Amino acid sequence: MAAVSTSPTATLADCVFITPPGWSVQHQIGHVRLQNTESGCLILVIEPQSSSGDIEQDARAAFELMYRGWAYQKSGEQAYTLSKSRTPQGLEYCAMEAAMSTTAADGRYHLEEGVAVVIKAGAPIVIIGARHNSSVLAHDRCTRYEGWPRFLASFRVKNATPPAHADEDPSSRIIGRWVMTESRASGEYVFAANRQYQFSGAIGTSYTTSERDHDIIYTTTSAFQGDGSYSVSGHRLTINPRAAGSPEEMSLRFVKINRGGSGWKDRLYLRKNDANGEYEVGYEKP
């Protein structure tokens, strides 16, 4: 964990965070550098500085500075994603992320997944830049919750006072239909105003067998569903299945996202902990 100090004005020493397992930490002039020793992925925490007055503009500017001369790997709504919310400490933040590519002078092709996060710590802002080597297998450790997600969730700025919360009450904001679709998994929660919920989902798996001169691919899909009651207390969600089973508790957080300038949408993140460790799943309102 980074060192801390007490000061009426935020400084780099006031930035506190949990270092991901297997990452090195170097405290340098003007920034703290964290690096995944296997993949080479980087996180830079920059000395607090003045804001333009618009943290979305600050996030865009920070990202453009990180990737000057690079190109977006995708286009349209998939080109980049902006997100804004509050940190667990209650500080406002805005982030810009995108998959980027470039060809170096030696002809080598580089792929990265970049993120620029701007956190409003009172008058100054803290900028966090992450550069993930997406073409390296060891990068998988960065995407697990114990990596980049937990680092960001743990980030605090000593002596920074969160503004008065004007956000909608989580117990009201959760009401509605939330959908998740990624790779071979899908899921849907419906949270009703009467504190009842429904859940449905499916996971697809496949395996290959060889027979003489050809391969056969077998695909199976497992479906599951449930319903019951739920309750929200602060940023904790408890669901009580109607069928036999114990109540399940998880953390929740809401984020506004904007893909490629297509408009802002609500996203709900649910963080759980099971035998495989801590993980987080994102659901969006369709």
pLDDT the model gives residue 166:
63
pTM of the model as a whole: 0.85
Q: What is the pLDDT of residue 183?
A: 63
pLDDT score at 3 = 41
The dotted CATH code for 170-284 is 2.40.128
pLDDT tens by residue, the chain, 286 residues? 444 333 347 899 999 999 999 999 999 999 999 999 999 999 999 999 999 999 999 999 999 999 999 999 999 999 999 999 999 999 999 999 999 999 988 888 999 999 999 999 988 999 999 999 988 888 888 888 999 999 999 999 998 988 876 667 899 999 999 999 776 778 999 999 999 999 998 765 555 555 555 555 545 555 668 899 999 999 999 999 998 778 999 999 999 999 999 999 999 999 998 887 899 999 999 8
What is the per-residue pLDDT for 204?
A: 53
Spans of all domains in the chain:
12-157, 170-284
Q: What is the pLDDT of residue 176?
A: 97
- 100, 134, 211 from 105: Cα distances, Å: 17, 20, 47
| pLDDT at residue number 4 | 37
Sign for the pseudo-dihedral over CA of 250, 153, 265, 115: negative
Looking at residue 209, what is its pLDDT? 55
Q: Has domain 12-157 been given CATH number 3.30.565.10?
A: no
pLDDT of 71 reads 97
